[in-house]
Chain A
């Protein structure tokens, strides 16, 4: 299956600083990528949809000025958490829509996730 890679897998930053998380599709072109946040013992919450070459679409309640998303190429999307606070500490997961070679339909593949701890 297709591979989506996230980096870094774990990051600790100081309160007030910014941190960038990368999401790469390694063997397919992803015109659309998605960013999720997952709180402990909860399901995934969609934050935004990232389309290559255009502005991201944010879900209701997600601060677009705080969570900056850039999708500059067909294989890379980045999430930058600006002026991070301890409450931003969470598990962030990206996913990418790719075409499955075994079928004619699209499949959503997920990255490994990134643990962010703001101290």
Chain B
């Protein structure tokens, strides 16, 4: 079965600092990968996705992610974090049957 690992449960960064959230997946074929963000008490918002092509994917809100097949990784990055980025971030892989398999999530705290 496919799985997604987000090794960091919590991350705290200073406002204006750079951010990298880690995501590793296990999947036999070429994966369809997603990053979602969830603010407290709300649904999930799609940040970006990777299907094929350019391995560096640009998303909304200044986020980007890079697909590295050799490392089975799809890490999310942002060069300068804003206080409004504080939320929980989920990495997910689309498996057969269009089911999304989620990582456990990473809670981002931004300190001023």
Binding site for B on A (CB under 8 A): 1, 6, 32, 34, 42-44, 46, 49, 91, 93, 95, 97, 100, 103-113, 115
Contact A105 B44 (CB under 8 A): no
Residues of A close to B71: CB separation below 8 A: none
| Contact stretch, chosen from B16-24, B78-86, B101-109 | B101-109
Q: Which B85-111 residues sit within 8 Å CB-CB of chain A?
A: 90, 92, 94, 97-100, 102-105
Contact A105 B43 (CB under 8 A): no
Q: A44-B90, A103-B51, A108-B94 are in contact. Are A6 and B100 (CB under 8 A)?
A: no
Contact B100 A46 (CB under 8 A): yes
Residues of A close to B34: CB separation below 8 A: 107-108
Contact A1 B100 (CB under 8 A): no
Contact B105 A43 (CB under 8 A): yes
Contact A110 B46 (CB under 8 A): yes
- Number of contacting residues on B, CB 8 A? 23
Q: A43-B105, A105-B32 are in contact. Are A110 and B94 (CB under 8 A)?
A: no
Contact A43 B102 (CB under 8 A): yes
Contact A113 B43 (CB under 8 A): yes
Contact A34 B99 (CB under 8 A): yes
Contact B43 A110 (CB under 8 A): yes
Question: Of the candidates B44, B49, B94, which one forms a contact with A93 in the assembled complex, judged by CB atoms under 8 Å apart?
Answer: B44
Residue of A nearest to B4 (CB): A43
Contact sample, A vs B, 29 pairs, CB 8 Å cutoff: A1-B46, A32-B98, A34-B99, A42-B104, A43-B102, A43-B104, A43-B105, A49-B97, A91-B41, A93-B43, A93-B44, A95-B44, A97-B98, A104-B51, A105-B32, A105-B49, A105-B51, A105-B52, A107-B46, A107-B49, A108-B34, A108-B92, A108-B94, A109-B46, A110-B36, A110-B44, A110-B45, A112-B43, A113-B42
